[in-house]
Amino acid sequence: MKYVIVVLIAVGLLFACKKPVVAPMYFANPIDTILPPPIDTIILPTPTPTPPPAGTDTASKYYLALGDSYTIGQSVLVEERFPVQTAKNLTALSVNFLTPEIIARTGWTTGNLINAISATPPKRQTYDAVSLLIGVNNQYQHLSQDQYSTEFTTLLKTAIGYAGNNPKRVFVLSIPDYSVTPFASGSNKALISSQIDSFNTINLNIALQNGVHYLNITTSFREAAADPSLVAIDGLHPSGKEYKKWANLLAPMIKAALQ
């Protein structure tokens, strides 16, 4: 009996000391990278261009500006030149003008401009608008008014030719009166002003005889006598502000001529 008890005790101790069997742990396989299904290529319809506002002239227009320092815009930024501002205004008026071609240089007389056009003609044979402003250096250099009359007539006929022989697309601007500027201090301002008027009488009469448009900007620039902001930093030429006034007058004239 004692033997049976001892055996049972030994068996109990054996099981008590044996570590429990733990079921092995199995980890799931790493998650496969899942790519989204391919997206079919979608061809979007080509948007219909927005039409320009009614009345817009979409054809490019060309502007030729002939002159001297007033046309090249001495002492102002390129974008402040009156031909450039005029073209910008025309675009705002729904007339698509490209950057103007300018043949002008400070100090040029009518004779200088004639020679320049002869030596280096404009890039195109025909322009939609041509402006001509020349003569202040004829007056300043004490050249005769008879010479001015002859040479201005030559230049105007040249301008008409580059406008497709259409005088209604040519625009003569009067000569500014520089007697109102600081440059003329100490000079005979009354004489300068009188002589400018005489030269302008000549270009006005020639313009009328040839059926072209005429824009008097002399009166506008004379306002500089009381408004220094209308004069450029060189104390002689118009400022961009003054040129803007000219452009505001010239652009509607050009638009009307093209209709």
212 versus 27: which is more confidently predicted?
212
Residue 140 lies in a domain: yes
pLDDT reported for residue 109 = 98
Please state, as a whole number, how many other Cβ atoms lie within 10 Å of the Cβ of residue 216: 12
Q: Residue 133: in which H helix or E strand, if any?
A: strand 129-133
pLDDT reported for residue 194 = 98
Q: Domain of 132: which CATH number?
A: 3.40.50.1110
Q: How many CA atoms are closer than 13 Å to the CA of 246, on its beta-carbon side?
A: 35
Q: Does 24 score more than 70 pLDDT?
A: no
Residue 70 lies in a domain: yes
Least confident of 30-44, 108-122, 236-250: 30-44
Residue 43 lies in a domain: no
pLDDT reported for residue 6 = 41
Residue 178 lies in a domain: yes
pLDDT reported for residue 106 = 98
Residue 48 lies in a domain: no
Domain total of the chain: 1
Residue 31 lies in a domain: no
pLDDT reported for residue 217 = 98
Q: Which of 170, 50, 68 is nearest to 110 (CA)?
A: 68
CA distance 27 to 229: 86
Residue 155 lies in a domain: yes
Instruction: Give residue-wise pLDDT tens across range 102-161.
Output: 999 999 999 999 999 999 999 999 999 999 999 999 999 999 999 999 999 999 999 999
Residue 191 lies in a domain: yes
Backbone angles phi, psi at 174, to 5 degrees: -70, 165
**Which single residue is written with the structure tokens 């006005």?**
204
User: Residue 29's pLDDT band (boundaries 50, 70, 90)?
Assistant: very low
Domain span at residue 129 reads 57-258
pLDDT reported for residue 73 = 98
